[in-house]
Amino acid sequence: MTTTELVLNPHLALPDIIELTRTEGDAWKLSHVRRVLKLIGLIGAGMVYDETAVTIATYLHDWGAYPRFQQPGVEHALRSRQVAETLILPRMVLPDTAVAIILETIEYHDYRDFRPVQSTEALLLREADFLDFLGIIGLVREYGRGPKEMESACRTVLKRRELIQDRFTLPVAQQMAATRLARLAQCLAWLQEESFDFL
């Protein structure tokens, strides 16, 4: 980690976190956060949760995968939690309850993590993050990630779908997942037809 180059204010607020997400991640990663926040609003409608905590957690959830913060051998969700815990949250004015929620929400978000979550906020981020891997957006994201290799991108999308598709628990997320899974299946079938399976 090259934190020596990162000069942080002693006090950080949400606009600083947003700006750091844009500069340390990039526009592509910031768009993912914005979609996930939108999804959380939709799948969490009518639920009681700490909106500030889940918003901060969503901005921070993938920081462990950003070049400045990533560490070989440390899974990105855990690394994101470490960065939040040591570098970011101590600079924010937040109640202890919110800090605990944010840390759990970040650490447990990844689809490869099958541990149950405790908080509503962690459930919301997890299922919203799952949804952004499905449908047309999931396919486009994978191709947008590069490199110029269509077959492996397709394999990754299918493998991820296997791990995600049966894990939605929130009713709106289940409905959205069903729509996205159907679109993804149709899109993959068209891709196969138009490419004559030469990917």
- Chain positions contacting Fe ion, by CB under 5 A: 62, 129
Q: Shortest distance, CB of residue 62 to Fe ion, whole angstroms?
A: 4
Q: Shortest distance, CB of residue 76 to Fe ion, whole angstroms?
A: 6
Side-chain-facing half-sphere of 173: CA atoms under 13 Å: 26
- Name the residue nearer to Fe ion (CB basis): 50 or 129: 129
- Name the residue nearer to Fe ion (CB basis): 62 or 121: 62
- Name the residue nearer to Fe ion (CB basis): 50 or 110: 110
Q: Which of 185, 196, 128, 137 is nearest to 162 (CA)?
A: 185
Q: Shortest distance, CB of residue 16 to Fe ion, whole angstroms?
A: 20
- Name the residue nearer to Fe ion (CB basis): 81 or 184: 81
Distance between CA 177 and CA 39 in Å, rounded?
Answer: 11
What is the distance in angstroms between the CA of the first residue and the CA of the last residue of the chain? 37
Contact 83, 63 (CB under 8 A): yes
Q: Shortest distance, CB of residue 11 to Fe ion, whole angstroms?
A: 26
